[in-house]
Chains A and B, each alone.
Chain A
Amino acid sequence: MIQDVGWKVGGKQGEGIDSTGEIYAIALHRMGYYVFTYRHFMSLIKGGHTNYKIRASNRQLRHHGDDLHVLIAFDQTTIDFNWKEMVDGGIVIYDASAFEAVKPSDRDVNLFGVPLTEIAKQAGNAIMKNMVAIGVSAAISKLDPEEFRPVVQDKFSKKGQAVVDSNMEALLRGYAYFQEHYHVHFPLPEKPDLRGVDHLFASGNQATAFGALAGGCRFLAAYPITPATEIMYWVLEQFPKYGGVVVQAEDEIAAINMAIGANFAGVRGMTSTSGPGFSLMMEALGLAGMSETPVVIVDVQRSGPSTGLPTKTEQSDLSEAVNGTHGEIPRIVLTPRTVEECFLYTAEAFNLADRYQCPVIVMTDLYMGMSFQSVDGFPVHQVRQDRGKLISDEELAKLGRFAYQRYDASVPDGISPRALPGQKNARYVALGNEHNGFGLEVEDQETRVAQMRKRQRKLKGFRHESGVTVDGRPDAPYALIGFGSTYGVLEEAREVLEIQGLPVKHIHFSRVWPFPAEAFHDAMDGVRVALVTEQNATGQLKRLIREQAGYHDVLQSCLKYDGDPMSLKEIVHTAYQTFPMGVLN
């Protein structure tokens, strides 16, 4: 089992909760721990309750963990809201200069007042109560407060050395106060051995953006939307260094049409969005499919429908990604399981889009996108760029004028070579209307059927390199099934269930369309009961599996759609209710 500590800071939105969590997380990461962060926030700027959770361990984490050992509370709401997560013997530090904390009576938790604001004032400014809280946290976990100095330096150096010094002063005073007054500790486990590991700290959104750059993307058009906007921020910072363009489009419809335009002209372009924006893009998704123009769309899912819960996580766009747009088009849907896969699959998405000349949708979610975590490097050496079938100037010269058929329906694999504007002898019109081989609008049945067949043929022979992964005992009669960001919590659930005597394997989709039927059938070998765990209300993955692979009597659902990420307890509890008890093979 993972040896870990759960820490959380909470207060009102606008109190600097995020920066407190960020400084503490980065410091722990740089000390050599594995951290996983999760932000709980609301769709407003000031007020409301917000918190930042950090789970720290000496091994790789893929989940923010159910438990809380240390809670820093800037107000009573933080205590009331997060009480249920506290372990027995846990510590709540509250700002004794601001309020007198009330302790809910149903748990054996230590409530310690520290005059955070008062100490901060003594160090120079009341707003540094956050730094006092970090100092207190360091004392609780027996960390050397000096290890925070470089992070504080990075964070505040732009504001001058005096600001750095007074923040550090506040941190040290907090540390000293706790040491002097209290003697309870939650030390972190021994640091892991990081030799040979590139210990990096990144979010899924950052990894997705990095993957795009590495994959050759040099055009992003997007409209700001939570939780996808960070992709745009990252790209804005990096693209100008590599000759790329970022356009803040006037809306999502413009954004995807721009991405299609860039791809038509031969530049790898993408758009990043979340549910509501993705819905607006449906018509253009069809255009990309019909005109056989590559395009990459990243959908960082959030709770829907409509505006839904803008700052909460969900996995409910699956059906839309697989079926969305009127009419029928070929498309590929990737659902990375980890931050590293966000990087690799987004890079790969551009190859797939070019190779199959169709839209490729990369689906993550708020949980994956906005959670920062420590990873052992990015698989940068696995990135390859493959432009697919492009017709060369020489081939076109040989063909002569009026011979090039952009949409030649006779190609056996359905993929006809693409010409790029500027090339001689190849001018053609990419169009959303039905067309003949030359790209001219036609309506006769024979051509229509031939072109439909051509497009549908593209993905007939498609095989994902790894559509489905299986962890645990291959012969286990019980299976946990999921896709995308729930990989980490399902892996932990599998470990818990195994330790408790249930033979379970974990089947996880990282690419859902075209449906990796063969790999899934192999994975299901011997499974008697499977619990499909997904964050939506109607069991979209289960429906897809039934439609594509069957297993009607085998599949059960574990669903969550309250906006919070899956907890380990919920999965384990449902697994116990679902898998018959005590069956051992």
Chain B
Amino acid sequence: MATMLDYQTERATWCPGCGDFGVLNAMQKACVNLGLEPEQVVVVSGIGCSGKMSQHFGGYGLHSLHGRSIPTAQAVKLANKDLVVFAAGGDGDGFGIGMGHFIHAMRRNVDITYIVMDNHIYGLTTGQASPTSDVGSKTKTSPQGTVEQPILPLQLALAQNCGFVAQGFSGNVKQLVTLIEKAIQHKGFSFVNVFSPCVTFNKVNTYEFYKANLVDLDQDPDYDPHDRVAALRRVAEANNLVTGLIYEDPDRPSFEESLPGYPDDAIVSRDWTLRQEDYEAILATFR
């Protein structure tokens, strides 16, 4: 059985105190808890501070292009269904340049887990406004305060009927581990948005801010994570400042299950040579 040690790599290059450390630890711990070996897990990341996740995680990784982790990750999973596949990105990577892929991944429902490290700022490019920056946020590209409405990740996912929607916080790794475990176990596309503070460039959305404002729905016995419409209302009422399992539809079939001809065994392990009778059947279609 793999331990946390097996998932360790070289020293991470994030700023001391970066929220992404908590996300990394939670992803590693969730995998350990589920008895996964590092070589069974692939992390596909995009660009930005969150993009380093594939390198720091300790499994196989693909550090892809800005905003393109999701399509790449879906294909990795389709090619080898025996792998556990994460797509990891930030709010800029995922909700800016990569937003289209996010919506379509929810439609398609390939069995991958998408983790977004949401810090409301562009960190690696040193502090510009991001798609989730609150109105009025003063950044290098919005010195007078942002005038655009922020993307609402949970509402978007709920509206798009995403089969698994959760939100965590880097300051509560314990809860995040549980959420990621459930996300991995969910069959189909699962989305975990994580408030992951940028300690260098975002002086508003800090650990203290989240500790003071977040409501933990996992601790609410009256909250039903299977009622999508109620979930939408609750998230909106709390101005998105919630954590926990927001919504899950365990019955929604995955893309793989629904696709005609998708094989039971991993495509990568199959023999791809056409036999004589295959050729004959195909050539007959050209006569």
A168 to B59, CA, bound (A): 65
- Interface flags, A219-259, vs B, CB<8A=1, else 0: 10100000000000000001111111101011101110111
**A518 contacts B by Cβ under 8 Å:** no
**A269 contacts B by Cβ under 8 Å:** yes
- Interface flags, B215-238, vs A, CB<8A=1, else 0: 000000000000000000000000
By the criterion CB–CB under 8 Å, are A420 and B268 in contact? yes
What is the CB-to-nearest-CB distance from B244 to chain A, in angstroms, rounded to a whole number? 30
By the criterion CB–CB under 8 Å, are A258 and B61 in contact? no
What is the CB-to-nearest-CB distance from A154 to chain B, in angstroms, rounded to a whole number? 11
What is the CB-to-nearest-CB distance from A476 to chain B, in angstroms, rounded to a whole number? 36
Closest to A214 in B: B274
What is the CB-to-nearest-CB distance from A461 to chain B, in angstroms, rounded to a whole number? 27
Number of A-B contacts (CB under 8 A): 186
By the criterion CB–CB under 8 Å, are B272 and A385 in contact? yes
**A276 contacts B by Cβ under 8 Å:** no
By the criterion CB–CB under 8 Å, are B39 and A250 in contact? no
CB-contacts of B58-110 with A (<8 A): 58-65, 68, 70-76, 78-80, 82-83, 100-101, 103-104, 108
By the criterion CB–CB under 8 Å, are B76 and A261 in contact? yes
The residues of B that contact A198 with a CB separation of less than 8 Å are 283
By the criterion CB–CB under 8 Å, are A423 and B267 in contact? no
A463 to B197, CA, bound (A): 53
What is the CB-to-nearest-CB distance from A244 to chain B, in angstroms, rounded to a whole number? 7
The residues of A that contact B283 with a CB separation of less than 8 Å are 198, 200, 377-378, 380
Given A201-B286, A219-B267: A264 in contact with B272 (beta carbons within 8 A): no
A330 to B100, CA, bound (A): 30
**A554 contacts B by Cβ under 8 Å:** no
**A268 contacts B by Cβ under 8 Å:** yes
Given A219-B75, A283-B65: A242 in contact with B278 (beta carbons within 8 A): yes
**B143 contacts A by Cβ under 8 Å:** no
The residues of B that contact A202 with a CB separation of less than 8 Å are 286
The residues of B that contact A30 with a CB separation of less than 8 Å are 287
- For B, the interface residue count at a CB cutoff of 8 angstroms equals 53
A260 to B44, CA, bound (A): 12
A243 to B256, CA, bound (A): 12
- Interface flags, A365-398, vs B, CB<8A=1, else 0: 0000000000001101001010000000000000
By the criterion CB–CB under 8 Å, are B62 and A243 in contact? no
Say which one of B130-138, B183-191, B257-265 lies at the interface with A.
B257-265
By the criterion CB–CB under 8 Å, are B71 and A441 in contact? no
The residues of A that contact B282 with a CB separation of less than 8 Å are 210, 213, 238
- Interface flags, A194-225, vs B, CB<8A=1, else 0: 00001111100010001001101111010000
A235 to B42, CA, bound (A): 28
By the criterion CB–CB under 8 Å, are A429 and B54 in contact? yes
Given A429-B54, A431-B62, A431-B63: A258 in contact with B75 (beta carbons within 8 A): yes
The residues of A that contact B59 with a CB separation of less than 8 Å are 427
By the criterion CB–CB under 8 Å, are A427 and B73 in contact? no
**A421 contacts B by Cβ under 8 Å:** yes
Given A216-B272, A219-B79, A284-B68: A432 in contact with B287 (beta carbons within 8 A): no
By the criterion CB–CB under 8 Å, are B287 and A427 in contact? no
By the criterion CB–CB under 8 Å, are B268 and A427 in contact? no
Which single member of B52, B55, B60, B272 contacts A218 (CB below 8 Å)? B272
A262 to B71, CA, bound (A): 10
A539 to B279, CA, bound (A): 40
Given A243-B267, A251-B100: A257 in contact with B262 (beta carbons within 8 A): no
Closest to B273 in A: A385
By the criterion CB–CB under 8 Å, are A240 and B55 in contact? no
**A569 contacts B by Cβ under 8 Å:** no
By the criterion CB–CB under 8 Å, are A218 and B270 in contact? yes
24 contacts between A and B (CB under 8 A): A200-B287, A210-B282, A214-B274, A216-B273, A217-B272, A240-B262, A245-B78, A249-B71, A253-B68, A254-B68, A254-B101, A257-B68, A258-B74, A262-B75, A264-B72, A265-B42, A266-B80, A266-B268, A420-B80, A421-B76, A421-B83, A422-B82, A431-B61, A432-B64
Sort A-B residue pairs by CB-CB distance and give the 5 closest, nearest first: A240-B261, A261-B75, A431-B63, A429-B61, A216-B272
